[in-house]
Chains A and B, each alone.
Chain A
Amino acid sequence: MVDTAEAEHDELSPARSAMIYLVLLVLTVATYSLSRLHLGTWTLVIAMLIAIVKASLVALFFMQLWYHRGSVRLAIAIAVLWLFLLMFFVVADVKTRYPLANPTANPMLVGPSGP
Chain B
Amino acid sequence: MLPESHVQEHFANMEVQRQAARLGMWAFLGTEVLLFAGLFAAYAEYRSLFHETFVLSSRHLDAIMATVETAVLITGSFAVVMAHHYARSSRSGMTCLSLLVAVGTGLAFLALHGIEYVHHFEEGALPGKYYHFPEIQTAGASMFFSLYFLMTGLHSLHVIAGAGVLAWLAWRASSGEFSRGNYNAVEMGGLYWHLVDVIWIFLFPLLYLI
Contacts and interface: CB of A to CB of B under 8 A. Distances in A.
Judge A-B direct contact (beta carbons within 8 Å): yes
Contacts of B19: 3, 5, 69
B141 A112 contact: yes
A54 B44 contact: no
Nearest to A33: B67
Interface in B193-210: 194-195, 197-198, 201-202, 204-206, 208-210
> Contact residue range for chain B?
35 or more
A58 B139 contact: no
Contact of B78 (A17, A29, A93, A110): A17
B82 A91 contact: no
Contact of A35 (B78, B141, B143, B209): B209
Interface string A2-16: 111100000111100
Interface string A21-38: 100110011011011000
Contacts of B53: 112
A51 B40 CA distance: 15
A83 B74 contact: no
A100 interface: no
Contact of B205 (A13, A14, A51): A51
Contacts of B38: 86
* Secondary structure class of chain B's binding surface, majority of residues: helix
Nearest to B31: A79
* Secondary structure class of chain A's binding surface, majority of residues: helix
Interface residues of A, number: 59
Nearest to A91: B44
Contacts of B15: 4-5
Given A87-B40, A113-B142, A76 B198 contact: no
Contacts, number: 164
Interface in A80-109: 80, 82-83, 86-87, 90-91, 93-95, 102-104, 109
B142 A112 contact: yes
Contacts of B133: 112
A44 B70 contact: no
21 contacts: A25-B74, A28-B67, A32-B209, A35-B209, A44-B205, A44-B209, A47-B205, A55-B202, A62-B78, A63-B191, A75-B26, A87-B37, A87-B40, A87-B44, A90-B45, A94-B49, A95-B48, A102-B49, A112-B131, A112-B142, A113-B142
Closest 10 CB pairs of A and B: A79-B30, A112-B142, A47-B205, A112-B141, A5-B15, A21-B78, A35-B209, A83-B37, A32-B67, A79-B33
